[in-house]
Amino acid sequence: MRTRIASFCTLAVPAVLMLGGARTTSAQQVVKLGEGETLTISGFVSATLFSDRGLFGSFGQGQNAEISASPANQRGVDQSFTDGDFRNSRLRFDFAAQPVLGKWAPKATVEFDFFGAFNGIPPFGDEQPQIRGRV
C-alpha cells in the first residue's frame, strides 16, 4: 500500500507543478491585407478541463461544483468522465488603413467576449455567460 501511494505522489507532484506553473501569454497577430492595410487579431481564452469519477449535486460539475450527489445518482464503478468550461474569453479584430482624405485614416474595431450580463434566474442563470459584441 505504501509503495502505491509513494509512486502516485512521485507522479502527481511534478504534474501539479507543470500545470500550476503555466504562464498566461497575450496573443496578437498582425495580418497585412494590402498596401498599408492591416488586420490585428488579439485576445485571450480562459478554459477549464476536468476529469472526475463522481458527480456533484444540483449546481453542476467543474468550477461550479459544490456538494457531492447522493449515492443513488452516482455513476457505476470505473465510470469516470471528462468535461470542460469555456468562459471569460475575448477576441478582438482591429483594422487600420492608410490615410484616404487628407490625414484621415479609416480604423475599425470589432470585439466579442463572454462578459455579458447574467440575466438568468438563480441558481443556474450564471452558468452560461452570454456573448456580447462591440463595434
- Which has more pLDDT, 122 or 45? 45
At 84, the pLDDT band (50, 70, 90 cuts) reads confident
Look up cell 467543474; give the residue: 62
Residue 99 lies inside a defined structural domain of this protein: yes
Dist. CA 8–CA 14, nearest whole Å: 11
For residue 47, the enclosing domain spans 23-134
The residue count of the chain comes to 135
CB 38 within 8 A of CB 95: yes
83 three-state secondary structure: strand
Report the domain count for the chain: 1
* Within a domain: 79: yes
Q: Residue 12 domain-assigned?
A: no
**Contact at 8 Å (CB) between 93 and 116?**
no
pLDDT, position 94: 92
Position 4 scores a pLDDT of 52
Cell of 6: 509513494
Q: pTM value?
A: 0.52
Domain presence at residue 5: no
DSSP 79: -
Q: 97 falls in which pLDDT band (50, 70, 90)?
A: very high
110: in domain:
yes
Q: What is the pLDDT of residues 7-45, one digit of tens each?
A: 555 666 656 555 555 555 556 777 778 888 999 999 888
